[in-house]
A and B are shown apart, each in its own frame.
Chain A
Amino acid sequence: MSLVDLMSMAKPNLESRDKILAKLKGIELVNCYQCMKCTSGCTALKLLELKPNEIMKLVNLGFVDELPSSDIIWTCVTCLKCVQRCPQKASPYHVIMALRNLAVEKEAKVPEGFLKAVSQILETGLAEPPQKIVTRKMETVDRECLKLPKIKFPKESFQAAFMKAMEEK
């Protein structure tokens, strides 16, 4: 291999890189010219130190082995600003999603919150469970006292379809 990261002695894995590129139909990852627009505006940067531009460059160079098992790819809050504003249509969000899919394929550790969300959807059809809230007058209210209709939970056919879709992916 002609390229080595002297800090970690890591070498590019072009096979995995091709796998990611194949997942990115229509996303022009290789065109990224590091203008920093994605990182400058990244919602997850200030708190969680996500630097989309760094991920873009690492994937472009082929340093992809560390990424699926790293925590950083799970910090993206999917605000999609980078998709909208990327001048090269290189779309860091889609690259991060491809890395997440690769992580699941490789059975790397997926943060608990994501697994919880999946079972939540499977059970209730909702990403978040219905909650009670506190108003400005400090009254605790729920759907019933607001006279909102009861939430219908999904039928078994939904769960079957959901499981099937997950397996296909």
Chain B
Amino acid sequence: MARIGVYVCHCGLNIAGVVDVEKVAEYAKTLPDVVTVKHYTYMCSEPGQRLIQDDIRAHKLDRIVIATCSPRMHEDTFRKAVAEAGLNPYLTEIVNLREDVSWVHIHEPERATEKAKALVRMGVARAKLLEPLEKHKVSVEKNVLVVGGGIAGIQASLDLADAGFKVYLVEKAPSIGGRMAQLDKTFPTLDCSACILTPKMVDVAKHQNITLLTNAEITAVNGFVGNYEVSILKKPRYVDEKKCVGCELCTKVCPVKVPDKFNENLTEKRAVYIYSAHAVPKIAVVDPEHCLRLKFDKDVCGKCQIACEPKAIDFKQQPERIQVKVGGIVVAVGSEVFDAARMAELGYGRFKNVISNMEFERISDASGPTSGKIHSPKDGKTPKTIAFIQCVGSRDKRFHEYCCRVGCMVTLKQAILAREKIHDNVRIYVCYVDLRAFGKGYDEFYTRARNMDIDFIAGIPSEIHATTDGSLYFDVYDKNTNKLLQIHPDLVVLGTGLVPNNDLAKISALFHASRSADGFLLEAHPKLRPLESAMAGVFLAGACQGPKDIPDTVAQASGAAAKAIDLLSSGEIELEPLKAVVDKDLCSGCRICESICPFVAIEMKPETVKGEEKLRAEVIEAMCQGCGACSSACPTSAIKIQQYNNKQVLTQVEAALAETCAEGGK
């Protein structure tokens, strides 16, 4: 005979405002094996928890049913309270009266109360069958993999390395720095981006705890939280990293010209090049797609090899495969900028003087194609009129529904930079829908822009036209003046937003990190677990989780690093015991569970039974998240989830059906 205590929480008025909690408590008293029932305003509060603990001791309770909010909210809280009173924490059953009842049936209190009663009845029936479970411990690797060398990856790596963890920082490009390295100034303080980023890039390269792997990609991730095995492919640079001194003699003799991606294709680089002026590591790299020697595989060209004094060029370099063992992973692969050519009406790609905001950054940057002088790309002249157009590709159901969260501030910054650089000789117009300046110091920045005689037009043009001489104009209806205005700009800058990284599908598959509807990586909980993916030990940082500016990215990166430190610092981790277990006698080795498991937690192991070799499923405990997919798919019921076996679930179903004809349950 079980001795069950039932506790009904009011959750202020969240539950009690709809559900008649007293009636539910009265009803619970009539259920078999229930020894005591109480209801209280806030069960999760200190006095609420003490109520349960006192009862456990006084009534010698051995099962606890708590009718309260979602288990995602407070299951842990109550388990801890129960454990403190000396009972196994897994003998607690949570019944959700808030998300499942009061919040969704707000207009039908009577039927909600009946549903609450039924759920309590089910909880009590199930509670009797709960089994005491123990948490398991596994040891962990004190190394961390950081994927992506933008500001997010750099910050996370430095924090982890400073805390004494060994970090493998993997970057796809030949240099770290990412998107931030391409920016001129940063809002709202107008710090020079390179001035605040470059020292951090150098710190990464010099840090004894960081192994920097550029021009490299992750090819496979195996293992589980605390014990991941990662395969990294380091692509050949065709330059000996130890010999190259970054003198750029090779780039001066290379005859092949290629659009320079770092400069947003506004200039050309050579087929052997150094990624950028501030590149870390500052080592040349040969572009195998364009290098004549590598493309034609003959003894052609080779000019760079002759020019290189330290003899660093090595066309025979092979890809290198590196295996590392890490305890945790920080994914910080960043985002891309929206391709404005997809929005045909704005003429990006057709009109040379219509540029993206990333191109403006390069034009405005002192190390960029115009040495920081604002020029219209078409004629190289200083523009007399600049127009910024906001929300390009963002807040647009044809492309991306979300707000890009940086576009407004980027435009304010660029408008201010244009005013500072061209002084009074330029008219600046910003066409916007809503201007969002929400961060610390951001609205003051907006005021600063207005003070600098920048004109804000509340309206977006429908299309941009060019006259026969190539000059641009567009009509825009300003809702503040109720006038249709025509603007003739020499330069149009499109406020293109941030969009999910092209590699994100691959990344999501590699790390089993799911994606949200907007295409970015999905955090474990939008409010309470924003730094973690659903996969244990895989953390998210920066714009790969959603569009972000630099302050938010850095904050999230430090947070993700702290989360990884928290996970790994003790050298071992506790695992929830709510996992799948296999009854080996029943397992037929059909492999259905293996194919269905979203966490790759099932391994098929050969076993010899009576001289015959058979395959048996085995659960890798550390990877299993207890989702139950295997259990419902298993044709022989050989695989079960602890605390959710068939008997426990079916008893609950029977209890649900037991009183369907009771009053109110029409």
By a beta-carbon cutoff of 8 Å, the part of chain A in contact with chain B is: 28, 33-42, 45-46, 51, 53, 81-82, 85, 87-89
Contact = CB atoms under 8 A, between A and B. Distances in A.
Contacts of A37: 459-462
Contact of A41 (B395, B396, B462, B479): B462
A28 B461 CA distance: 21
A46 B1 CA distance: 85
A133 B489 CA distance: 41
Given A46-B484, A51-B477, A85-B345, A36 B460 contact: yes
A28 B401 CA distance: 14
A78 B345 CA distance: 18
A120 to B, nearest CB: 32
Contacts of B459: 35-37, 39-40
Interface string B460-476: 11110000000000111
Contact of B462 (A28, A51, A81, A88): A81
Given A42-B462, A82-B462, 15 more contacts: A33-B433, A34-B479, A35-B433, A36-B478, A39-B459, A40-B459, A40-B474, A40-B477, A41-B345, A41-B475, A51-B477, A81-B463, A85-B463, A87-B391, A89-B398
B636 to A, nearest CB: 48
A164 B486 CA distance: 47
Given A45-B484, A85-B462, A36 B398 contact: no
A40 B391 contact: no
A85 B345 CA distance: 8
A39, A40, A41, A46 pick with most chain B CB within 10 angstroms: A40
B395, B396, B397, B462 pick with most chain A CB within 10 angstroms: B462
B458 A87 contact: no
B391 A35 contact: yes
Nearest to A28: B397
A33, A37, A41, A46 pick with most chain B CB within 10 angstroms: A37
A82 B460 CA distance: 12
B434, B458, B479 pick with most chain A CB within 10 angstroms: B479
16 contacts: A35-B460, A36-B433, A36-B459, A36-B478, A37-B459, A37-B461, A40-B459, A40-B460, A41-B461, A41-B463, A46-B484, A51-B477, A82-B462, A85-B462, A87-B396, A89-B397
Contact of A45 (B398, B477, B479): B477
A37 B397 CA distance: 14
Nearest to B345: A85
Contact of B461 (A33, A40, A45, A46): A40
Given A35-B433, A39-B459, A41-B463, A87 B477 contact: no
Contacts of A39: 459, 477, 484
B558 to A, nearest CB: 35
Contacts of A53: 477, 479
Contacts of B433: 33-36
Nearest to B475: A40
B457 to A, nearest CB: 9
B396 to A, nearest CB: 4
B461 A87 contact: no
Contacts of A33: 395, 433-434
B479 A40 contact: no
Given A87-B395, A87-B396, A36 B458 contact: yes
Contacts of B474: 40
Nearest to A45: B484
A87 B475 contact: no
A40 to B, nearest CB: 5
Given A36-B476, A36-B479, A46-B484, A87 B462 contact: no
Interface in B396-417: 396-398
Nearest to B346: A85
Interface in B344-375: 345
A87 B587 CA distance: 55
Contact of A38 (B391, B458, B462): B462
Nearest to B394: A87
Nearest to B343: A85
Nearest to B482: A51
Nearest to B393: A87
Nearest to B397: A89
Contacts of B476: 36, 40
Contacts of A46: 484
A53 B345 CA distance: 19
A78 B525 CA distance: 46
Contacts of B478: 36
Nearest to B458: A36
Nearest to A51: B477
Nearest to B479: A36
A82 B345 CA distance: 12
Nearest to A34: B479
A135 B458 CA distance: 46
A126 B195 CA distance: 70
A81 B462 CA distance: 8
Interface string B601-613: 0000000000000
Contacts of B484: 39-40, 45-46
Interface in B470-499: 474-479, 484
* 7 interchain residue pairs of minimum CB distance: A41-B462, A36-B459, A87-B396, A39-B477, A35-B433, A40-B462, A40-B477
A155 to B, nearest CB: 43
A42 to B, nearest CB: 8
Contacts of A38: 462
A85 B434 CA distance: 18
Nearest to A82: B462
A57 B231 CA distance: 56
Contacts of A41: 345, 461-463, 475
Nearest to B485: A40
B482 to A, nearest CB: 8
B424 to A, nearest CB: 28
A45 B462 CA distance: 13
A38 B475 CA distance: 11
A33 B458 CA distance: 12
Contacts of B398: 87, 89
A36 B461 CA distance: 7
A27 to B, nearest CB: 12
Contacts of B461: 37, 40-41
B69 to A, nearest CB: 32
Nearest to A89: B397
A88 to B, nearest CB: 6
Interface string B537-562: 00000000000000000000000000
Contacts of A42: 462
A42 B461 CA distance: 10
Contacts of A34: 433, 479
A28, A34, A45, A81 pick with most chain B CB within 10 angstroms: A34
A51 B481 CA distance: 13
A69 to B, nearest CB: 23
Contacts of B397: 28, 87-89
A112 to B, nearest CB: 28
Given A41-B462, A46-B484, A85-B462, A36 B477 contact: yes
A41 B477 CA distance: 8
A51 to B, nearest CB: 7
